[in-house]
Structure 1
Amino acid sequence: MENENLLNETSRDIDFMGDETYYRLRQITKTILKQAKKDNSELAEIIGDRIHEVLEGSELSDKLKRMFRKCMLNTITTTLVQKEDDSAFLFTGDIPAMWLRDSGGQLRVFLNLDDPTGKLYDVIGSVIRQQFRYIVNDPYTNAFNFSADGNCWSEIDQSERKNPLSWERKYELDSLCFPVELAYFYWKKTGRTDIFDSEFLAAVKEIVRVCRTEQHHMEKSEYFFIRENGVEQDSVPNNGRGSEVGYTGMIWSAFRPSDDACEYGYLIPANMFAVVIFGYLEEILSAFFVEEETLKNEVAQIRKEVQAGINEFGIIQHPKYGDMYAYEVDGLGHHNCMDDTGVPSLLSLPYIKYCEPSDPIYQNTRRFSLSTDNRYYFEGKIAKGLGSPHTPPGYVWHMGLAIQGLTSVDKEERKELLRLFETTDADTDLTHEGFLADDPNIYTREWFSWSNSIFCEFILKEIGKLKI
Structure 2
Amino acid sequence: MTDTLEKTARVLPDGTTYVITGDIPAMWLRDSTAQFSPFLLMMSADDAVQDLIAGLVRRQLRYICLDPYANAFNAEPSGAAYDPDDLADNPWVWEEKYEIDSLAFPLQLAYRTWRMTGRRDFLDDTAHRALRTVVRTWRVEQEHETASRYRFRRHGMPPTETLTRDGLGSPVGPTGMTWSGFRPSDDACTYGYNVPGNLFAATALDHVRAIAREVFHDDDLAGDARALRDEIRAGVERFGVVDHPSYGRIYAYEVDGLGGQVLMDDANLPSLLSLPHLGATDLDDPVYQATRAFVLGPDNPYHHAGRAARGVGSAHTPPGYIWPIALAVEGLTSPDPAEKLALIQTLRDTDAGTLAMHEAFHCDDAGRYTRDWFSWGDSMFCELVLDYCGHRVSDAVREGRHVQS
TM-score, normalised to structure 2, is 0.95
- What are the within-5 Å matches in structure 2 for residues 227-306 of structure 1? 227-290=154-217, 292-306=218-232
The AA in structure 1 aligned to 2:297 is: S
The AA in structure 2 aligned to 1:126 is: G
Distance in 2, Cα, partners of 1:111 & 1:101: 16
CA RMSD of aligned residues (A): 1.1
Number of aligned positions between the proteins = 394
2:290 match: 364
Give the superposition deviation at 1:412: 3.4
- What are the within-5 Å matches in structure 2 for residues 273-352 of structure 1? 273-290=200-217, 292-352=218-278
Give the superposition deviation at 1:366: 0.4
- What are the within-5 Å matches in structure 2 for residues 54-453 of structure 1? 72-157=1-86, 159=87, 161-290=88-217, 292-453=218-379
Distance in 1, Cα, partners of 2:300 & 2:46: 46
Give the superposition deviation at 1:145: 0.5
1:467 match: 393
Is 2:209–2:221's contact at 8 Å kept on the other side of the alignment?
Answer: no
- Cα offsets for 1:193-228 (capped at 9, x unmatched): 111110001111111111110000010001010112
Give the superposition deviation at 1:352: 0.5
Give the superposition deviation at 1:116: 3.7
The AA in structure 2 aligned to 1:335 is: Q
Distance in 1, Cα, partners of 2:160 & 2:235: 26
- Cα offsets for 1:174-202 (capped at 9, x unmatched): 00000000011101111111111100011
1:30 match: none
The AA in structure 1 aligned to 2:178 is: I
Q: Secondary structure at the match of 2:166?
A: coil
Give the superposition deviation at 1:433: 0.6
Give the superposition deviation at 1:114: 4.4
Distance in 1, Cα, partners of 2:75 & 2:156: 25
Give the superposition deviation at 1:253: 0.2
2:398 match: none
Q: 4+ residue runs of structure 1 moved beyond 3 angstroms?
A: 114-117
Query: Identity across aligned pairs (percent)?
Result: 45
The AA in structure 2 aligned to 1:167 is: W
Give the superposition deviation at 1:117: 4.1
The AA in structure 2 aligned to 1:81 is: R
Is 2:97–2:152's contact at 8 Å kept on the other side of the alignment?
Answer: yes
Give the superposition deviation at 1:416: 2.2
Q: Secondary structure at the match of 1:225?
A: coil
The AA in structure 1 aligned to 2:19 is: L
Q: Secondary structure at the match of 1:378?
A: strand
Gapped runs of 5+ residues in structure 1? 1-71
Q: Name the larger-Rg structure.
A: 1
Q: Secondary structure at the match of 2:165?
A: coil
The AA in structure 1 aligned to 2:392 is: L
Q: Secondary structure at the match of 1:120?
A: helix
2:403 match: none
Distance in 1, Cα, partners of 2:347 & 2:56: 29
Distance in 1, Cα, partners of 2:177 & 2:371: 33
Gapped runs of 5+ residues in structure 2? 395-405
Give the superposition deviation at 1:411: 3.3
TM-score, normalised to structure 1, is 0.83
1:7 match: none
